Amino acid sequence: MATGRSTVKPRTCRALRASPCQFLLRACWAGPGRASPSRAGPPRRAAGPQGTGRLLWFRGSTERPGRSRSPAEAAPPPGPPRSAPPTFPLAAGTANGRRGPACSAGGSCWAGVSRPRVRPLRSPPLPSGPVPSCEMPPKKAGDGVKAHPIIGRFGTSLKIGIVGLPNVGKSTFFNVLTKSQAAAENFPFCTIDPNESRVPVPDDRFDFLCQYHKPPSKIPAFLNVVDIAGLVKGAHTGQGLGNAFLSHINACDGIFHLMRAFEDDDITHVEGSVDPVRDIEIIHEELRLKDEELIMQSIDKLEKVAVRGGDKKLKPEYDVMCKIKTWVIDEKKAVRFYHDWNDKEIDVLNKHLFFTSKPMIYLVNLSEKDYIRKKNKWLIKIKEWVDKHDPGALVIPFSGALELKLQDMSAEEKQKYLEENMTQSALAKIIKAGYAALQLEYFFTAGPDEVRAWTIRKGTKAPQAAGKIHTDFEKGFIMAEVMKYEDFKEGGSEAAVKAAGKYRQQGRNYIVEDGDIIFFKFNTPQQPKKK
């Protein structure tokens, strides 16, 4: 065993090439005279002072592939066993684990940390089987959650119409809802041409953001509401200007079905008596019969082309229309009652936009007395009918007389009156329900200059949501920085949300959720060069 300083000679190992973009770096320590006998030429020596062990890094092997070493070569050098080498962290000032200056104490220095001489390091056995690739897997087209298609017109400028028999309080409800002054008289067909207005969607989240930022510009989300003239029996055949009124309904995307459940001898009823369940059935049947007419017209046209004409491209649409015919005509049910339409069938439904496919909310107009005491003989019957024929639909009682009275009061008088009678206005609930029925939601952009709610359809992805602000945002979309309203309110600031790790960076497959506060990053698209 050598007692003085010795010259340490390097011996290379086979290098393992893991992939085109990686190769394994190997190093071996050898004692005196342990250079490989198979290599021609003088052995390679480590640079540095004599007696200093050097760790050499190699990018590839200099040995012949497949060479096997003799037992003498593979045996460890003579001498007493030594302990396993300690590991050392990278010292400050090093880069990529490069070696620092040599140590004068006879050991090797790695990044300035003294390391004693140790027994030769042996490479682990080469792995068997295929070598894994370091390449990233290709992105799949359409990565992310695929939104289920929605029955109805695509877009965000959607409208909900107020539908019902004449003299049930539609125009009064429209006026108190939108703070308009549409004609509301005590005779049938007071409304001929539809009245349209928009009403802001009440939201405590929007109010909080406005109070926090105090911007000069505050823009909430809006619900577009249309007051449509009353329908009567036989409207689908043209009775009582029925064709014109039905066309107004067809232009809407949802329905507030308003019915009268109050007695008033001074207000006439076209059917001679108050019976809201009967009134619901009249409206439903008129809409279904109009759909029946439209379905048969479509089937007749498709049959000529797809069946007798042999057009295979239209055959799937013909089959879907036959299924719709069975449901609406044979079983006398509305399109929206069937909840198992698949994607292709929904595409056909959205092509025709049938009356009975529109979402419907049932509004029960009560007297002020019944609304305050929350009792009315018709409410239970109405709820039972809706649960049977339109399961899951909302039934919202309100009082047009009470809402009209509250509209003429100041804010203080209104609050006092509601507290004395232990009741509240139903308008906010109705507006939110109508907005949700149209499958609409909104995200916020908030800052010291403006707080705004941007209306989108449910299931909208981040680039398309950015396009609601400006088309350049969608074309050059990079990412969306998102924080939840609840996190912002809890933290009290954007910095607190970031510190809590709840400020997210989302890509183009992110589906925007209702109430998200978003900051978009985008590249300005280059304008085409003019020739």
pLDDT category of residue 6 using cuts at 50, 70 and 90? very low
Q: Are 92 and 105 in contact (CB under 8 A)?
A: no
Closest by CA to 43, choosing from 35, 33, 51, is 35
Task: Give residue-wise pLDDT tens across range 59-84.
Answer: 344 444 444 455 555 555 555 555 45
Name every residue whose Cβ is closer than 8 Å to that of residue 84 and which is 6 or more positions away in sequence: 118
What burial class does residue 460 get, using C-beta atoms within 10 Å of its C-beta: 0-12 exposed, 13-18 middle, 19+ buried?
A: buried
pLDDT tens, residue by residue, 333-387: 999 887 789 999 999 999 999 999 999 999 999 999 999 999 999 999 999 999 9
- Cα–Cα distance, 395 to 277 (Å, whole number): 13
Strands lying side by side in the sheet with 195-200 = 195-200, 222-227, 159-163, 254-260, 360-365, 395-398
Structure tokens at 418: 């509601």
Residue ranges of the annotated binding site are 167-172, 366
Lowest mean pLDDT across 10-24, 242-256, 299-313:
10-24
> Quick check: 218 and 124 in contact, CB under 8 A?
no
Mean pLDDT, range 300-304, rounded to an integer: 91
Quick one: how many helices (H) and strands (E) in the chain?
16, 14
Binding-site residues for ATP sit at 167-172, 366
Residue 297: the pLDDT is 94
Dist CA 431 CA 227 (whole Å): 14
Tell me the CA distances in angstroms from 166 to 174, 255, 281, 378, 432, one per residue in order.
14, 16, 15, 19, 25
On average, the pLDDT of the chain sits at 78
Weakest mean pLDDT among 233-247, 382-396, 440-454? 233-247
Please, what are the domains in the chain? 159-436 (3.40.50.300), 459-522 (3.10.20.30)
Flag the least confident range among 109-113, 130-134, 437-441.
109-113
Question: Looking at residue 14, what is its pLDDT?
Answer: 44
Stretch 501-530: mean pLDDT, rounded?
90
8 Å CB contact between 21 and 135 = yes
Tokens of 376: 């009315």
Q: How far apart are the first and last CA of the chain?
A: 84
CA distance 159 to 161: 7
CB 57 within 8 A of CB 99: no
pLDDT at 272 over 90: no
Return the minimum-mean-pLDDT range out of 104-108, 282-286, 299-303, 337-341: 104-108
pTM for this prediction: 0.70
Check residues 171 and 127 and name the one with the higher pLDDT: 171
Please give the pLDDT value at position 283: 94
